[in-house]
Structure 1
């Protein structure tokens, strides 16, 4: 067994074992286990990434049994990109959670300690309980979620992809609920949406199994290409699975659950939900549309209509999501609506996929796709936008959550002047905004450039219009979020003024000023990554092509 194959299994099992161990450990030990696990996962990603850069796909048949009897783990170029995204963001957010345990949630505890316990034993129930920061369930749930994410990214068959999605969804719902009483209803709504999406996806998996006799993605793609009579079942399955995954990724108008869930989650949870959890559903959508479905034949009208519907919903999300973000007066809901808008960009390439004028895929499996084809550029652009969004949005949510913890509010007007006391934090927000707007030297710019040039080549001018309008609107709502933090109160600009509820901040700073200053480092690291990853756009096309069906 090679190092890459060993790492492939470790990426799924290690965080799962660490999650189980964290349940049995005390508070500080949980944080130590979480950080060690994050560092080990980064180390395990290295040999898999090296093999992908060398042009090879890492395949691990569990137990030595090949598909369809056995289960295969498979890491191609697309898998490696999302694994690295999860490793980078997960490690930085884990560092933030270890520095700021208060950002991991709230729990009800006795206000009288041992005396309260004695009163309870005596039958007295009049002792109050109070909400306390730092939740012991964060680390087991987050590490379990990380295991599910890695399982989705390396799964070679549809059923284990479903299992990974379920693990991600259930742990994400529980993580949202750690935010306290106000987050329980958003978590319950999120649970209903996650279960409905999973059911639709599972029905689609059953239809593909019935049509092909296998759950392995490569074998299913080959069977669908060789048996045209099974295309009707595959098309129906694609429709069901796309709707189910659209619910999970919060594609407008299926986005209503996302705003309260992401905005109400604890400070260390919101970045994980926006940067990583919804990416699992996006990853599976890419797998289905490009790796499983047989585009060697003319697509049916139903598939064409579905692609245009999803592309239209994406355009709607970019524009309306940005407008709703502009209307927010609180920081975390603004960032959450920004996620809705950014999700829309990821679906704009689907109409290009089925456009016969776009030199789309020819023949499946083993399709031939020219290196300079329109589809290749559109896919690279969509993936670059998703990766850039993951890094930048994690940093922005971390900064917003930390401001809320320090100042006791996330109302933008109440945070006026916060930049004077937290310059590193505001700089981090500015760097993240560079990536979300899509300015040069960011993956956001690379993604929009590839998508725009592909749209121009295919004469899909509406995509260019959506990109331009979305960029202007994103600049507007991010300026609305950051600019007040750099300004003094307009009523008395000459007076040294600290905006926001100063007593709350003073009490928090007095508790541990060094810890709060240190907590500004993780958002700043993500801001730097937002800019530095922009230089990786050059080799993105080649890496996505490793193990691709073209």
Structure 2
């Protein structure tokens, strides 16, 4: 093993261990030290993720057996094209949001603080007595629990992306889910009910996933993702009766992950959780946390189950739910009068796109154009295009939605409202924030030059090649709906004056930072702008992304 490879394998373990250690250490530190540690950790994870992406891009699948114990006895970390891309997106969004949270501690949540009241004294002859009054506790912005929870969540996300076996994937999902629930609860009393509902969903989804994993283990005798996939392929070739257990396992796993990703009609928990979470938490939930469930779903369907014809009905059911999500989520977003719920319903709609490829996996006509005269398509090219389009949509959603939630949260923190009518004309006072929202809207709509456009183009061309023209219709309808609800969100902020040319008046600004923090607060607005800019600039990476996903692909 050469030195560069050894360094890369070290990075493969460090991206999980470093944020976990930082999470434990941050519990012992003060507020300012936690912010410094959080920024340093984000820089470290970003730096550790880069060598992994570079090595995988060169065509190598990385594999590290912890302690030297190979599968099935030991824990194996594995990074292929899919892992590297999700690691990179998580590192970028995590680093930017961490810097934002460090610059604006008030965005990390609310806490109850006991009021201090000077005791009154009374005199009775030569005796003096102190009378104390119970003062009600008051809510204060900024929560010390943000950094331990977020860094622990980041460790869980990376563990999911590099885990080589199903059980440790479950452990990573559990860590992500529990820390995400606690992060939602940092939003204060109004967020506690949403956090409790989220907890029930997270536990139920994990339980269903674990039962599915147990069924797969009972059939294949291994938890390793690659080995279990090979065993299931052999069973399918032999027509083994144990395939019924595999189908049941995939049904349970898909249902559990659909709960976690908030696929319609299982989406009821997402809206209150994402909209009531603190401003630095909402972007993490929408951009990163639900991506862990999507990542595992792709692993289960492509690497573990493979193209089992017995799963065709389940694939069409999930694709139908995805179509319903695009339409229902968009309609509900159009009906919202507040920014954060509108953006949350946008997440519900965007989730639907990620399930449209499933029927393509099992359709024998998927390779209809491959090998035809006048074409240069190689075997598996149509399926690779569908997967690349889906992943591009997910990655673009992560960048754009983080930017949107950061911008909306910043405005809500400043003016104590996210009512769209109350924030008319906010673009005059906060041009960078509104520009960030505009750039993000370009990506979510899927306009040219954005990663969203690349994703929709790849998915659409693969659907046409396989004869699934209904996907093209859904993509067009979803694009029009996206333009409508995002225009509703952004356009009022750009209004310069009322119809009678009178000046618009924003609500009285709240939570003004002190003089020492104004510079940091101003620079914090660079965070959503950077993510919005990346949403557009990454649109040029469509072909490169397809090549990266070929590394370690199951076809």
* Residue in 2 that maps onto 1:227: 235
1:169 paired with 2:174, answer no
Aligned positions of 1:284-323 closer than 5 A:
284-295=296-307, 299-300=309-310, 303-323=311-331
* Residue in 2 that maps onto 1:422: 430
What SS does structure 2 have at the residue aligned with 1:334? Answer: helix
Bigger drift between 122-131 and 374-383 goes to 122-131
* Residue in 1 that maps onto 2:127: none
1:26 paired with 2:26, answer no
1:532 CA displacement: 1.4
Which runs of 5 or more structure 2 residues have no equivalent in the other structure?
121-129, 371-376
1:538 CA displacement: 1.7
* Residue in 2 that maps onto 1:83: 87
Q: Is the 8 A contact 1:317 1:344 kept in 2?
A: yes
1:373 CA displacement: 2.6
* Residue in 2 that maps onto 1:375: 383
Superposed CA offset, 1:179-231 (max 9, x none)? 00000000000000000000000000100111011100111111112234221
Pick the aligned partner of 1:485 from 493, 514, 528: 493
* Residue in 2 that maps onto 1:189: 197
1:123–1:235 distance in 2 versus 1, CA, 3 Å: farther
Superposed CA offset, 1:243-287 (max 9, x none)? 000000000100000000000000000000000000000000000
What is the CA–CA distance in structure 2 between the aligned matches of 1:350 and 1:396, rounded to whole Å?
28
* Residue in 1 that maps onto 2:440: 432
What SS does structure 1 have at the residue aligned with 2:384? Answer: helix
Superposed CA offset, 1:386-432 (max 9, x none)? 00000000000000000001111000000001000000111111111
What is the CA–CA distance in structure 1 between the aligned matches of 2:543 and 2:313, rounded to whole Å?
33
What SS does structure 2 have at the residue aligned with 1:504? Answer: coil
1:42 paired with 2:46, answer yes
Pick the aligned partner of 1:462 from 458, 466, 470: 470
TM-score, normalised by the number of residues in structure 2 = 0.93
Superposed CA offset, 1:1-39 (max 9, x none)? 711100001011000000000000000100100100000
1:356 paired with 2:364, answer yes
What SS does structure 2 have at the residue aligned with 1:415? Answer: coil
Aligned length: 531
What SS does structure 2 have at the residue aligned with 1:281? Answer: helix
1:537 CA displacement: 1.1
Q: Is the 8 A contact 1:406 1:508 kept in 2?
A: no
Aligned positions of 1:205-284 closer than 5 A:
205-228=213-236, 229=240, 230-284=242-296
Q: Is the 8 A contact 1:325 1:335 kept in 2?
A: yes
1:372 CA displacement: 6.1
* Residue in 2 that maps onto 1:498: 505
Q: Is the 8 A contact 2:416 2:509 kept in 1?
A: no
Q: Is the 8 A contact 1:442 1:533 kept in 2?
A: yes
1:291–1:503 distance in 2 versus 1, CA, 3 Å: closer
What is the CA–CA distance in structure 2 between the aligned matches of 1:521 and 1:374, rounded to whole Å?
39
Aligned positions of 1:434-449 closer than 5 A:
434-449=442-457
1:31–1:288 distance in 2 versus 1, CA, 3 Å: same
What SS does structure 1 have at the residue aligned with 2:417? Answer: coil
What SS does structure 1 have at the residue aligned with 2:418? Answer: coil
What is the CA–CA distance in structure 1 between the aligned matches of 2:365 and 2:267, rounded to whole Å?
32
What SS does structure 1 have at the residue aligned with 2:139? Answer: strand
Q: Is the 8 A contact 2:217 2:223 kept in 1?
A: yes
Which runs of 5 or more structure 1 residues have no equivalent in the other structure?
117-121, 363-368
Q: Is the 8 A contact 1:509 1:516 kept in 2?
A: no
What SS does structure 2 have at the residue aligned with 1:271? Answer: helix
1:53 paired with 2:57, answer yes
What is the CA–CA distance in structure 2 between the aligned matches of 1:114 and 1:9, rounded to whole Å?
53
* Residue in 1 that maps onto 2:124: none
Of structures 1 and 2, the larger Rg is shown by 2
1:489 CA displacement: 4.8
Q: Is the 8 A contact 1:152 1:280 kept in 2?
A: yes
1:370 CA displacement: 3.5
Superposed CA offset, 1:464-484 (max 9, x none)? 111001001100110100000
Q: Is the 8 A contact 2:119 2:132 kept in 1?
A: no
What SS does structure 2 have at the residue aligned with 1:252? Answer: coil
What is the CA–CA distance in structure 2 between the aligned matches of 1:312 and 1:241, rounded to whole Å?
18
Superposed CA offset, 1:84-127 (max 9, x none)? 010000000000000100000000011218979xxxxx996712
RMSD after superposition: 1.9
What SS does structure 2 have at the residue aligned with 1:59? Answer: strand
What SS does structure 2 have at the residue aligned with 1:306? Answer: helix
* Residue in 2 that maps onto 1:366: none
Q: Is the 8 A contact 1:20 1:140 kept in 2?
A: yes
